[in-house]
């Protein structure tokens, strides 16, 4: 079930973040904006622009694709309401968020899951590291076109190292809201697509739409718990019950961003998070020397520095796992499995 849900939310996720990667001030049509300026405005747009619309998102896995349709109402700067229209098994799901707390209403189970956004996602307020993006990517402004009846400019983000197209954004010329977004795998194939089928910009929306309340007949329960991340990786590693190892080499442009640790069912897992500004991957380590159980499609075999590893594509993310010594090492991210295996080969517990 978790796999099913995971995929499902993945789809919805794309929807929302397309909005979150939304645009800035509504100050008239753009004039000769350079790529960086346009991106800068796009990532801050949702703080200024309120809207209602319908978004369709598709996440492409290796052998399948999952689509989700969500009705989204956003009241700037921080209120969100997502109403799931499709697929059928998600119909009726409602998510309300004020970017501090989010309630997820599950009518089928009569539960409301409460998640502390601030606690679970310490980086939510962090601005996009535009310096890093600029360092690692060419930001190219393309031709004018239209999405959902609005004039947009296209923005292509191309790796400075591999020349691979990593993302394309379609940004409303007036509001700077991202109206469409596509992400691509390293081999050029599409990984996900999110697009507004329709969108209407509004001055305001009723506050009641976004009020976090628990209806009669539903029970409020706590949502997921995650380890709190820290940039003090050295201290975190020193406190771990096993020796934490780090890759000796990284792909161009990537560096260690932060780390976290969590204990689940008695298993302490350390997570190291790397990023190049747009793409991210995590390295998980625990002392179980046990591969995770892969849900859904059967994993494929791959050698990781001479060790037998397994990889799969799950919810648009590559996941690669292998054992080395007493450790289980698992990598997850929007980086191809072969590239992950190359990084993993440099790990020596």
Partner 1 sequence: MQRQTYIMTCDLCRELLTDYIHGELDAARDAAIHGHIQSCVDCRNEWQAEVELTESIRSAMGEERELPMAVVVGVRHAMRGQAAPGMLEKLRAALRPAILGPAAAAVLLVIGIVRYDQAQHATSALSSSYFVRQHVAQTIGSPSNDRAWDAYLLTSANANTADVVSP
Which residues between 1 and 40 bind partner 1 (CB under 8 A)? 1-3, 5-6, 9-10, 12-18, 20-21
Task: Classify 13 as helix, strand or coil.
Answer: helix
Which residues between 101 and 140 bind partner 1 (CB under 8 A)? 101-102, 104, 106, 109, 111, 113-115, 117, 120-126, 128
d(CA 181, CA 193): 6
Identity of the residue, 152 or 169, whose beta carbon is nearer to partner 1 in the bound complex = 169
Task: Classify 284 as helix, strand or coil.
Answer: strand
Which residues between 135 and 164 bind partner 1 (CB under 8 A)? none
Structure tokens at 288: 């179980």
Contact between 323 and partner 1 by CB under 8 A: the answer reads no
Number of residues located near partner 1, criterion CB under 8 A: 93
Minimum Å distance from CB 188 to partner 1?
18
Contact between 201 and partner 1 by CB under 8 A: the answer reads no
Residue 16 class from Cβ within 10 Å (0-12 exposed, 13-18 middle, 19+ buried)? Answer: buried
d(CA 324, CA 339): 18
d(CA 310, CA 289): 14
Peptide bond into 9 cis (omega under 30): no
Minimum Å distance from CB 290 to partner 1?
4
Minimum Å distance from CB 17 to partner 1?
4
Minimum Å distance from CB 257 to partner 1?
9
Give me the 240-279 binding string for partner 1, x by CB under 8 A, dash otherwise: ------------------x-x-x-xxxx-x-x-x-x-xxx
d(CA 98, CA 204): 15
Minimum Å distance from CB 221 to partner 1?
6
Minimum Å distance from CB 208 to partner 1?
18
Q: Which residue, among 285, 261, 262, 259, has the nearest Cα to 272 in the 3D structure?
A: 259
Chosen residue from 25, 107, 142, 292 binding partner 1 by CB under 8 A: 292
Minimum Å distance from CB 64 to partner 1?
16
Chosen residue from 30, 41, 66, 321 binding partner 1 by CB under 8 A: 321
Strands 111-116 and 219-222: what pairing?
parallel
Stretch that binds partner 1, among 23-31, 95-103, 140-148, 200-208 (CB under 8 A): 95-103
Give DSSP secondary structure letters for 141-193.
EEEEEEETTEEEEEEEEEETTT--EEEEEEEETTT--EEEEEEE-TTS-EEEE
């Amino acid at each position: 079930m978790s796999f099913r849900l995971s995929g499902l939310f993945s789809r919805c996720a794309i929807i929302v973040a397309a909005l979150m990667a939304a645009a800035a001030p509504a100050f008239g049509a753009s004039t000769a904006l350079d790529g960086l300026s346009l991106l800068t405005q796009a990532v801050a747009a949702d703080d200024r622009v309120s809207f209602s619309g319908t978004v369709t998102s598709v996440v492409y896995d290796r052998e399948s694709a999952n689509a989700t349709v969500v009705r989204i109402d956003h009241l700037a700067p921080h209120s969100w309401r997502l109403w799931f229209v499709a697929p059928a098994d998600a119909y009726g799901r409602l998510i309300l968020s004020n970017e501090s707390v989010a309630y997820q209403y599950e009518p089928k189970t009569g539960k409301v899951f409460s998640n502390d956004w601030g606690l679970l996602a310490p980086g939510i307020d962090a601005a996009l590291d535009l310096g890093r993006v600029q360092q690692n990517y060419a930001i190219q402004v393309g031709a004018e076109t239209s999405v959902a009846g609005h004039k947009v400019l296209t923005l292509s983000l191309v790796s400075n190292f591999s020349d691979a197209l990593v993302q394309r954004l379609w940004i409303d010329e007036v509001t700077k809201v991202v109206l469409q977004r596509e992400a691509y795998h390293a081999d050029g194939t599409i990984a996900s697509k999110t697009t507004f089928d329709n969108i209407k910009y509004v001055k305001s929306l009723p506050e009641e739409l976004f009020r976090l309340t628990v209806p009669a007949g539903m029970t409020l329960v706590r949502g997921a718990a995650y380890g709190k991340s820290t940039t003090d990786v050295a201290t975190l590693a020193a406190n771990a019950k096993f020796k934490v190892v780090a890759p000796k080499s990284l792909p161009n442009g990537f560096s260690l961003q932060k780390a976290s640790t969590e204990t689940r069912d008695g298993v302490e897992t350390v997570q190291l998070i790397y990023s190049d500004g747009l793409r991210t991957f995590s390295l998980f380590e625990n002392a179980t020397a046990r591969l995770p159980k892969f849900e859904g499609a059967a994993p494929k075999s791959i050698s990781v520095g001479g060790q037998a590893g397994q990889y799969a594509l799950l919810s648009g993310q590559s996941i690669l796992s292998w054992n080395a010594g007493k450790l289980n090492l698992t990598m997850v991210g929007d980086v191809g499995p072969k590239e992950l295996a190359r990084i993993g080969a440099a790990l020596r517990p």
